[in-house]
Amino acid sequence: MTQHLSPPATGCRSTPILKERGQREVFCGLTGIIWLHRKMQDAFFLVVGSRTCAHLLQSAAGVMIFAEPRFATAILEESDLAGLNDAHAELDRTVTELLARRPDIRQLFLVGSCPSEVIKLDLGRAAERLTMQHAPKVRVLNYSGSGIETTFTEGEDACLASMVPVLPKTDARELLVVGALPDVVEDQMLALLDGLGIGPVRLLPARHIDTETAVGPNTVFALVQPFLGETHAALVRRGATHLAAPFPFGDEGTTAWLAAIAREFGVSDETFRAVTEAPRRRARQAIAQASETLNGKSVFFFPDSQLEIPLARFLARECGMTPIEVGSPYIHDALHGPDLDLLPSGPTISEGQDVDKQLDRCRAARPDLTICGLGLANPLEAEGLSTKWAIELVFTPVHFYEQAGDLAGLFARPLKRRAVLEAAV
């Protein structure tokens, strides 16, 4: 199986990484609930937190007050924080009422927050106790979405990692695809894998708890999101084997990702070409159109979503952009190495953040486009720099061939808007 890719003469895998451990400007891991609750249709996320946590979720998700959403916040009042109440008893009562009112819930996640961690509320113990009370109908798990410990995409990682130990065991040789995708994109991916003759394909997270997702020594897994370091480690602990590959962004990333799976499952070159040729052509055409604005422009990534390295690879190789700095909250060689191999050498690769120093580097470089969090975007725009909110890249369908043009278009939009504004002045 040929990979259909030619790596650059020198990639970035051996580039020394600038490690920074200063102040960070990122959202917390509770944010992941916004896409996870849509994906897992029989799950409920109960944040054990403060009014601030509730407010973050409500405003980020734009929930209508009449909707029965699949998440809520059990608010810790001041008396809870002062240790005057038995928080475990309160939590048990809240969960019992919730499950009585919502018989559709099959998986309940107790999600830790900064306040629950400050008072050292042991949600692991609570999850075990509540599982015993409500099994077999409901499975109760816990993870932390606290801003103290996580960046915003780590919430999904922590959630999926909490599920791995309770997945049933299997000895079947199966492909497990790991990472939440919008349903429409997931269906496109499954159709491609089906065309290659690969199946059954298991998914984590699955849309329903009863779906046959299991793991064992013959499981091979492919990640679709580059922020799943903990989940990767948990699956390896269960004996599964990771298929390292570039992430499926753009034509090249998607082709390389599929090729790694096809090689593993012995798919012929002929079948691979027959399945991928038409969608590749469509992707290339769509990218060419959208990237007219991007070609020859420079880009600077602040660390935010952990999507930075594969996206920089896509922008450099398929859209003609020049990355100046590619910052990522964490860099795992096992996950990001294949994308670093393909990213042409040149940019500073930085891990972690010292926001003031990084802002200085960005201002000195004056990139054509800066990818950053919401908090940095407005000040940088005011200084005349074009920005793209990193969080949009997580909320928008951007994986695989059919979204490749939209992905390039997302980066082109701020540049077009600035050009229009400048022309109007």
Of 72, 158, 80, the residue nearest 118 (C-alpha) = 80
Closest CA to 233 of 270, 285, 178: 178
Task: Give the shortest CB-379-to-ligand SF4 separation in angstroms.
Answer: 21
Q: How far is the CB of 158 from ligand SF4 (least distance, A)?
A: 12
Rg (the chain; Cα; Å): 22
Q: Is position 53 an interface residue for ligand SF4 (rule: CB under 6 A)?
A: yes
φ/ψ of 264, rounded to 5, equals: -60, -35
Residue 369 identity: L
Binding region: 28, 53, 114
Determine whether 124 is exposed, middle or buried from the number of CB atoms within 10 Å of its CB (0-12, 13-18, 19+): middle
> Between 29 and 205, whose beta carbon lies closer to ligand SF4?
29
Q: Nearer to ligand SF4 by C-beta: 176 or 355?
A: 355
CA–CA separation, 308 and 291 (whole Å): 18
Q: Which of 3, 52, 58, 131 binds ligand SF4 (CB under 6 A)?
A: 52
Q: Which one among 36, 39, 44, 49 touches ligand SF4, defined by CB under 6 A? A: 49
Cα atoms found within 13 Å of the Cα of residue 226, Cβ hemisphere only: 34
Residues 11-30 that bind ligand SF4 (CB under 6 A): 28, 30
Nearest to 101 by CA among 25, 147, 44: 44
Task: Mark the segment that binds ligand SF4 (CB under 6 A) among 11-19, 145-153, 170-178, 402-410.
Answer: 145-153
Binding mask 95-134 for ligand SF4 (x = CB under 6 A): ------------------xx--------------------
- Residues flagged as binding site for [4Fe-4S] cluster: 28, 53, 114
Question: Binding to ligand SF4 (CB under 6 A): which residues in 56-75?
Answer: 56
Query: How far is 44 from 276, CA to CA, in rounded Å?
Result: 37
Closer Cβ to ligand SF4, 73 or 350, answer by number = 73
**Cα distances (angstroms) measured from residue 100 to each of 103, 105, 281:** 6, 10, 52
The nearest distance, CB 56 to ligand SF4, in angstroms, is: 4
Q: How many residues bind ligand SF4 (CB under 6 A)?
A: 12
Chain contacts with ligand SF4 (rule: CB under 6 A): 28, 30, 49-50, 52-53, 56, 113-114, 145-147
